[in-house]
Amino acid sequence: AQSVTQPDIHITVSEGASLELRCNYSYGATPYLFWYVQSPGQGLQLLLKYFSGDTLVQGIKGFEAEFKRSQSSFNLRKPSVHWSDAAEYFCAVGADRGSTLGRLYFGRGTQLTVWP
């Protein structure tokens, strides 16, 4: 069965510091992988996605993620965090076949706090 694990519930970084949010997935085939961000009281916004090809994908707001098949990971990174990046981040894997086509399986989320 598909599943997503985000090991870090809460991460705190200083503004300007680098950031890495971890995501591990379980899926039987080539996964469709996504990172979403949710600001307080808002819906989810797509940061980036991976389907195939280059394993390093670029997203919006200066974020990037690297797909590592051998580690079943899709970690999100940003070289220099801004205070406006404080939010909750969700990793998700998409089902590409059968009766669950199109559905997303989400991790529990990582809450990011940014210190000034």
Spatial CB neighbours of 21, under 8 Å, sequence gap ≥ 6: 6, 8, 11, 35, 75, 76, 77, 89, 91, 110, 112
Spatial CB neighbours of 45, under 8 Å, sequence gap ≥ 6: 36, 37, 38, 39
Among 18, 26, 42, 84, binds another protein (CB under 8 A): 42
CB 116 → another protein: shortest distance, Å? 26
What mask, x for binding another protein by CB under 8 A, covers residues 48 to 87? Answer: -x-x------------------------------------
Cβ atoms 4, 24 nearer than 8 A: yes
| Binding segment toward another protein, per CB under 8 A, in 16-24, 61-69, 75-83, 105-113 | 105-113
CB 81 → another protein: shortest distance, Å? 22
Interacting residues with another protein (CB under 8 A): 4, 6, 9, 32, 36, 41-46, 49, 51, 90, 94, 96, 99, 101-104, 106-109
